[in-house]
Amino acid sequence: MDYLIHILIIAGIYTILSLSLNLIVGYTGLAALGHIAFACIGAYTSSLLALNFGISPWMGLIAGAILASTLGAIVAYPSLRLKGDYLALATFGLGVIVYSIAKNWVSLTRGPMGLPGIPSFSIFGYQISNVWSYLILVLLFVLLTYIVIKNITNSPFGRILKGIREDEIASLAMGKSVNKYKLIVFVVGAFFAGIAGSLYAHYISFIDPSSFTIMESITVLLMVVFGGMGSLKGSIVGAFLLVVLPELLRFLGMPSSIAAPLRQMIYGLLLVVLMIWRPQGLLGKYKFK
Amino acid sequence: MQSKRTKKLKGKILFILVTIGILHVLIINNGLQTIKSIIQKIYRFVGIMNTDSSMIQIFINGLITGSIYALIALGFTIIYRTVKFFHFAHGIVYAAGAYLAYAFFIFLRINRFISFFLAIIVAALLGVCIDRLVYVPLRKYKTSNLVFLLTSFGVFIFLQNLLQLIFGAQILTLRTGPIKEGHHFLGAVITDNQILIIVSSLVLFFLCWLFIQKTKFGKAIRAVSDDPIGARVVGINSEKIIMIAFAIGSALAGAAGILISLETNIEPTMGFSAILKGIIASIIGGIGSIPGALFGGLFLGVAENLGIWQIQAGWKDAIAFVILILFLLFRPSGIMGIKTEKEKL
């Protein structure tokens, strides 16, 4: 039972990531492939603050999210000049750079050895170490992310984002400052990704760079595409299905040396099949043009 | 008139190929000593014999990795020219080349050169299969480059994990005997295999350049890359040309994979950083430009090795991407690329 709850918690964390990536990719149409880099910044910031300075994980979570969104702003600036696959490549590069920093700045992040013993969240002196209470915490954050992004996308602001997605030049002609909107979208997306990273770090209580490889970014993107771009419900469904379904392989009694590559193979195949036959995903209306 | 000209051209190409083949054999087997002594004499004459030898070693290491990058970039560029998207799965063809050579050479115990040749052919077939099975349906829908890139990622992930499933995650090696001591050369050390890597990639490069510039197929490839509709109007079967481009590009990737596995270990994840370096090299050189691919590959190889010398080996990928982002921002057309109206970012 605890194992099932564990999977649900991981799925919840992935949902926060896919919801925030959907804002960037699905609603604004910017192909960002380095989303896990923001989660990496959030995770490392809050765990380093907690381990080295004894700062409460709640403060660390906010600090991590703010630092991640600062990085988001830094990324957004050059990305304003690139389009399509070149933007994808540049953000991909960002993911690799952040990963190398986490791996090679040994004096700060302990490199591949990772950071063990990260403390858990606590409310009024009550430690949230029980999986049930952590599940509730994660679901609260999922709800928060959903409400914020839902409100953003349903507002006039969200309509402008969709306008940028459909026709950037037309939006410019309407007098909208496209660059400003792209910047805000990156900052908001990175903020929630930072929260997701921090939640992950305090839940697992151990992080190392291998949790934040570029393959994870592609997995999150797959969740968005699978669920449907521009559909928040789709992102939730996509994240849950893609986390839960591969776990079935383990129940079939496969050793992890076979199950791990098989899971990745399914992801790869799913991406190809989706792109060829159903580029709008399960619940989406919009597809990559 | 036409046939006479093509005959003449064929004769010329045959002559060039044979000379290159002879030169190739000479350099690898016997002629090494002579060439080395000639170069040493030149260096002594210039008077840089006794300069910092670590600098020369770094430069040579850079040339070795750079020539592999250049080969990958060349295959990538040939494919890019005809289809105009980032064929990311090119990296897995490179890894597959190394694994196929391993399978033929170590498992089936076929002769070394025959097994390498077979591996290159199967790699070419793999590239063509990827095109036929995955890209052809996408081309029918006329989707954007981004969709192609993501699909290519999917193919890459699928095949990489398939390799891991078949051969296991552990590292393998093509080496059978003990490691030979390298030649001391201007204070630096270089092994036979490393010389083989540099020379054969340069030879392959030259052959491809000749193929693109001088043959009918090369002309057709250039025509399709310049103007697909115009090419179709004059009766070029663009699907066939794309298939040829995939075959040649993938064969080059397979060859690069075999060459690198003479030098380092084989592992399932080797294709990932290789294709990234290939793409970066071709963007640095100017995307779509063949001399640019060579130049970009060598530039990236030397720059990376200089960076490792100054900082740390782990930063290799980060250095490459910093160079890429700088190029994308400040000189997106690359060093040798020409900015056309259509290809502006």
CB neighbour list of residue A181: distance below 8 Å, 6 or more residues apart = A28, A157, A160, A161, A164
User: Do A262 and B161 count as a contact with CB atoms less than 8 A apart?
Assistant: yes
Asked if residue B20 belongs to a domain, the reply is: no
pLDDT of residue A264: 83
Measured between beta carbons, which residues in chain A are less than 8 angstroms from residue B144?
Answer: 84, 288-289
Interface test with A, best of B83, B85, B143, B149 (most A CBs within 10 A): B149
CA gap A114, A107 in Å, rounded:
11
Q: Is the pLDDT of residue B50 over 50?
A: no
Asked if residue B21 belongs to a domain, the reply is: no
Measured between beta carbons, which residues in chain A are less than 8 angstroms from residue B137?
Answer: 276
pLDDT of residue B345: 41
Asked if residue B15 belongs to a domain, the reply is: no
pLDDT of residue A259: 77
Q: Is the pLDDT of residue A33 over 50?
A: yes
Of B162, B165, B318, nearest to A96 by CB-CB distance is B318
List strand residue ranges (DSSP E) for A61-177, in order.
115-116, 122-123, 126-127
Cβ-in-10-Å burial (0-12, 13-18, 19+) of B50 comes to exposed
- pLDDT category at B28 given cuts 50, 70, 90 is low
CA gap A228, A19 in Å, rounded:
11
pLDDT of residue B35: 62
Q: Is the pLDDT of residue B339 over 70?
A: no
CB A276 within 8 A of CB B134: yes
Range name among A149-163, A219-233, B57-71, B298-312 with the lowest pLDDT average: B298-312
Measured between beta carbons, which residues in chain A are less than 8 angstroms from residue B147?
Answer: 275, 279, 288
For residue A27, the Cα-to-chain-centroid distance in whole angstroms is 15
User: Do A264 and B159 count as a contact with CB atoms less than 8 A apart?
Assistant: no
Q: Give me the mean pLDDT over the A106-121 stretch.
A: 78
pLDDT of residue A146: 92
CA gap B280, B73 in Å, rounded:
8
Q: Give me the mean pLDDT over the A144-150 stretch.
A: 91
The enclosing domain of B117 has a CATH number of 1.10.3470
Asked if residue B30 belongs to a domain, the reply is: no
Question: How high is the ipTM of this complex?
Answer: 0.83
Range name among A176-190, B268-282, B324-338 with the lowest pLDDT average: B324-338
DSSP A262-280: HHHHHHHHHHHHHHHH-TT
Residue B330 CB coordination number (10 Å): 8
Q: Is the pLDDT of residue B81 over 80?
A: yes
Torsion of CA B142, B147, B151, B153, to 10 degrees: 150
Distance from CA of B62 to the nearest CA of A (A): 21
- pLDDT category at B9 given cuts 50, 70, 90 is low
CA gap A115, A25 in Å, rounded:
31
For residue B82, the Cα-to-chain-centroid distance in whole angstroms is 17
User: Do B165 and A261 count as a contact with CB atoms less than 8 A apart?
Assistant: yes
CB A77 within 8 A of CB A186: no
Q: Is the pLDDT of residue B341 over 50?
A: no
Measured between beta carbons, which residues in chain B are less than 8 angstroms from residue A264?
Answer: 157-158, 160-161
User: Do A104 and B315 count as a contact with CB atoms less than 8 A apart?
Assistant: yes
Asked if residue B341 belongs to a domain, the reply is: no
Residue B342 DSSP class? T
Distance from CA of A102 to the nearest CA of B (A): 11
Of A85, A261, A268, nearest to B85 by CB-CB distance is A85
* Three-state DSSP class for residue B82: helix
Interface test with A, best of B90, B161, B170 (most A CBs within 10 A): B161
User: Do B162 and A265 count as a contact with CB atoms less than 8 A apart?
Assistant: yes
Q: Is the pLDDT of residue A284 over 80?
A: no
- pLDDT category at A211 given cuts 50, 70, 90 is confident
* Three-state DSSP class for residue A121: coil
Residue B266 DSSP class? B
Measured between beta carbons, which residues in chain B are less than 8 angstroms from residue A271?
Answer: 150-151, 153-154, 157
Give residue-wise pLDDT tens across range B280-299.
888 888 887 888 888 888 88
Distance from CA of A69 to the nearest CA of B (A): 20
Cβ-in-10-Å burial (0-12, 13-18, 19+) of B31 comes to middle
Distance from CA of A184 to the nearest CA of B (A): 21
CA–CA–CA angle B168, B171, B177 (5° rounding): 125
Give the domain extent around B77: 61-330
Range name among A167-176, B9-18, B242-251 with the lowest pLDDT average: B9-18
Average pLDDT of the residues of chain B: 79
Asked if residue B38 belongs to a domain, the reply is: no
Backbone torsions φ then ψ of B64, nearest 5 degrees: -65, -55
CA gap B336, B287 in Å, rounded:
8
Asked if residue B12 belongs to a domain, the reply is: no
Q: Nearest to residue B101, comparing CAs of B298, B253, B290, B329?
A: B253
Put simply, whether B338 touches A (Cβ < 8 Å) is: no
Residues forming a β-bridge with B189:
B184
User: Do A276 and B137 count as a contact with CB atoms less than 8 A apart?
Assistant: yes
DSSP B184-214: EETTEEE-HHHHHHHHHHHHHHHHHHHHHHH
Q: Which two tokens stand for residue A268?
A: 């790869």
Distance from CA of A31 to the nearest CA of B (A): 8
Of B154, B164, B321, nearest to A97 by CB-CB distance is B321
- pLDDT category at B93 given cuts 50, 70, 90 is very high
Q: Give me the mean pLDDT over the B227-232 stretch.
A: 83
Put simply, whether B291 touches A (Cβ < 8 Å) is: no
pLDDT of residue B41: 62
Asked if residue B338 belongs to a domain, the reply is: no
Q: Nearest to residue A258, comparing CAs of B220, B164, B115?
A: B164
Q: What is the CA radius of gyration of chain B?
A: 20
Backbone torsions φ then ψ of B175, nearest 5 degrees: -70, 135
Cβ-in-10-Å burial (0-12, 13-18, 19+) of B331 comes to middle
Counting the structural domains of chain B, the total is 1
pLDDT of residue B49: 45
Q: Give me the mean pLDDT over the A181-187 stretch.
A: 88
* Three-state DSSP class for residue A34: coil
Distance from CA of B127 to the nearest CA of A (A): 16
Average pLDDT of the residues of chain A: 84
> Chain B: residue nearest A97 by CA?
B318
User: Do A86 and B318 count as a contact with CB atoms less than 8 A apart?
Assistant: no
Q: Give me the mean pLDDT over the A176-203 stretch.
A: 88
Put simply, whether B144 touches A (Cβ < 8 Å) is: yes
Interface test with B, best of A272, A273, A278, A280 (most B CBs within 10 A): A272
pLDDT of residue B342: 45
pLDDT of residue B94: 92
- pLDDT category at B20 given cuts 50, 70, 90 is low
DSSP B273-291: HHHHHHHHHHHHH-TT-HH
